[in-house]
Amino acid sequence: MLLFIFFLLAGPAAWAADLEVGILTTTGPKPLRQWSVPELKKIARGGSVSAQDLIFEKSTETLDLNEKADVDLITLYGKGGRISRVPRFMVWRGALRFRLERDGSLASMASFGPTMVPMDFFRVQGLEKIELSRASVLYPGTRLSIRTNPAASRGEKMFTQACMACHSLGAAPKIEATLLNEDYLKDFARKHSPTAGFVLDPRALRGLLAYREALASEKTGVKSPK
């Protein structure tokens, strides 16, 4: 299931158009709520509003809890083709907010602790669309069919919700889950640590390797690298 939010913007000197919130199902798109600029100004107290409040509290009231829980990733689309994906946990922890600009458009604001990737990756100006989705829909072939191994399920969640958020957009080299190995992951952590304080602890490493092995065993003709 894909959920998406459209931000339609007018010319640079005009107020932005209304904000339409919708859900895309297998039968097509369905509008959930439409926000006018004056309404957005009211909820953006102090000039900003949390992603949790705007999306999951005020814009998706017609969805049930299971439908909301299906959302794994949030994709931000800005002016000039700028795209960024935000892991859902950043919304849960209040690390993502939207700032109301003078022209009525929205810009994303992100802040988090030292273990995250650089926050500039999540800052998008002139937001035109926000798309909420399940990770398995965005990344076909990454979903496990069998979930008897808790470590593999944990690794799948980390890979799709965290790793692929950056590595599927061209902002970083693409990675394939079936090609991960211990040396690659340790080198990955070493390269990320100086700029983002990224730490791949032993539990996360075991989960990613278990996920790699489980996924490889489900794919005909794909052997898990040693």
pLDDT tens-digit series, residues 75-94: 888 888 888 888 888 888 88
In a domain? residue 181: yes
Query: Could you tell me which residues are beta bridge partners of residue 75?
Result: 85, 131
The per-residue pLDDT for 190 is 75
The per-residue pLDDT for 113 is 54
Query: In terms of pLDDT, which residue wins out, 209 or 9?
Result: 209
Shared domain for 107 and 31, answered yes or no, is yes
Contacts 24+ apart (CB under 8 A), 198-207: 198/115, 198/117, 199/115, 203/154, 204/154, 204/155, 204/158, 206/151, 206/155, 207/151, 207/152, 207/154, 207/155, 207/158
In a domain? residue 226: no
CA–CA separation, 127 and 16 (whole Å): 10
Q: Tell me if the pTM is above 0.85.
A: no
The per-residue pLDDT for 217 is 87
Q: Are strands 28-35 and 73-77 parallel, antiparallel or unpaired?
A: unpaired
- Check whether 210 has a pLDDT greater than 90: yes
CA–CA separation, 52 and 50 (whole Å): 5
pLDDT band at 25 (very low <50, low <70, confident <90, very high): low
Shared domain for 61 and 133, answered yes or no, is yes
* Residue ending a domain, choose from 137, 165, 181: 137
Q: What is the mean pLDDT of residues 167-185?
A: 80
Domain span at residue 188 reads 140-218
Shared domain for 129 and 150, answered yes or no, is no
Shared domain for 108 and 9, answered yes or no, is yes
The per-residue pLDDT for 140 is 79
Question: How many angstroms separate the first and last alpha carbons of the chain?
Answer: 35
- Check whether 189 has a pLDDT greater than 80: no
Positive or negative, the CA dihedral 68, 58, 3, 151 is negative
* Residue ending a domain, choose from 76, 109, 137: 137
Shared domain for 12 and 124, answered yes or no, is yes
Count of domains forming the chain = 2
Q: Are 126 and 87 in contact (CB under 8 A)?
A: no
pLDDT band at 214 (very low <50, low <70, confident <90, very high): very high
In a domain? residue 224: no
Shared domain for 122 and 174, answered yes or no, is no
CA–CA separation, 179 and 159 (whole Å): 12
Q: Are strands 2-7 and 19-25 parallel, antiparallel or unpaired?
A: antiparallel
Shared domain for 153 and 97, answered yes or no, is no
CA–CA separation, 174 and 121 (whole Å): 16
Shared domain for 48 and 132, answered yes or no, is yes
In a domain? residue 86: yes
Shared domain for 12 and 92, answered yes or no, is yes
The per-residue pLDDT for 7 is 39
pLDDT band at 155 (very low <50, low <70, confident <90, very high): very high
**All residues at 6 or more sequence positions from 184 whose CB lies less than 8 Å from its CB, including other chains:** none
In a domain? residue 17: yes
Shared domain for 111 and 6, answered yes or no, is yes
* Residue ending a domain, choose from 137, 153, 173: 137
Query: In terms of pLDDT, which residue wins out, 37 or 222?
Result: 37
CA–CA separation, 28 and 42 (whole Å): 31
